[in-house]
């Protein structure tokens, strides 16, 4: 289950190779936890300028954000059989936004949280309505707890 990692130059000065590996590993463990270990995704670490351009182009919102997900197919949740053994899509994270939110000491954890958040979006979850938001947050919490235990 490959998690391909791309680090743009404006993010490279803020996040090192070890942190990128940890975040990619967290996604691998989360996929295993979901029973989707044969599925894959691409993880892009970038900066505010690129994520703003992506947000403007694909969502019509001319502002930077912390994470964007681009799914390859619409899935009806993590148990949707169509999500097994396929390329799920791309998760783009602004390292600058993550750093502002988390502060320097917790950047790795914030990047991991954003990656898992993006993964939930790839499986069709959203947080625009209260019920959806509760389900998505519960899944995120479950995946983050599971992957934390795995690292210990």
pLDDT digits (tens, 9 = 90+) for 130-150: 778 889 899 999 999 865 554
In CATH, what number does 3-151 get?
A: 3.40.390.30
Which residue shows structure tokens 């680090």?
7
| pLDDT band for position 10 (cuts 50, 70, 90) | confident
Residues 6+ apart with CB under 8 A from 45: 5, 6, 7, 8, 11, 12, 15, 20, 93, 95, 111
pLDDT value, residue 151: 44
pLDDT value, residue 33: 92
pLDDT value, residue 1: 60
The string of pLDDT tens digits covering residues 42-85 is: 999 999 999 999 999 999 999 999 999 999 988 988 888 888 99
- Is pLDDT of 104 > 80? no
CA distance 95 to 56: 18
Residue 72 backbone phi and psi in degrees, to 5: -85, -25
The string of pLDDT tens digits covering residues 105-125 is: 689 899 999 999 999 999 999
pLDDT value, residue 129: 78
Confirm if 43 and 23 have CB atoms less than 8 A apart.
Answer: yes
């Amino acid at each position: 289950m490959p998690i391909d990692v791309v680090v743009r130059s404006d993010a490279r000065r803020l996040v090192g190779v070890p942190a990128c590996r940890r975040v990619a590993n967290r996604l691998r463990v989360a996929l295993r936890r979901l029973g989707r270990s044969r599925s894959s995704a691409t993880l892009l670490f970038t900066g505010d300028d690129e994520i703003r351009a992506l947000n403007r182009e694909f969502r019509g919102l001319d502002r930077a954000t912390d994470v964007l997900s681009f799914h390859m197919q619409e899935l009806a949740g993590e148990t949707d059989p169509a999500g097994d053994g396929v390329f799920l899509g791309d998760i783009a994270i602004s390292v600058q936004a993550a750093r502002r939110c988390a502060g320097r000491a917790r950047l790795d954890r914030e990047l991991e949280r954003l990656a898992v958040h993006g993964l939930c979006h790839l499986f069709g979850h959203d947080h625009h309505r209260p019920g959806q938001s509760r389900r998505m947050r519960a899944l995120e919490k479950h995946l983050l707890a599971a992957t934390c235990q795995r690292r210990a």
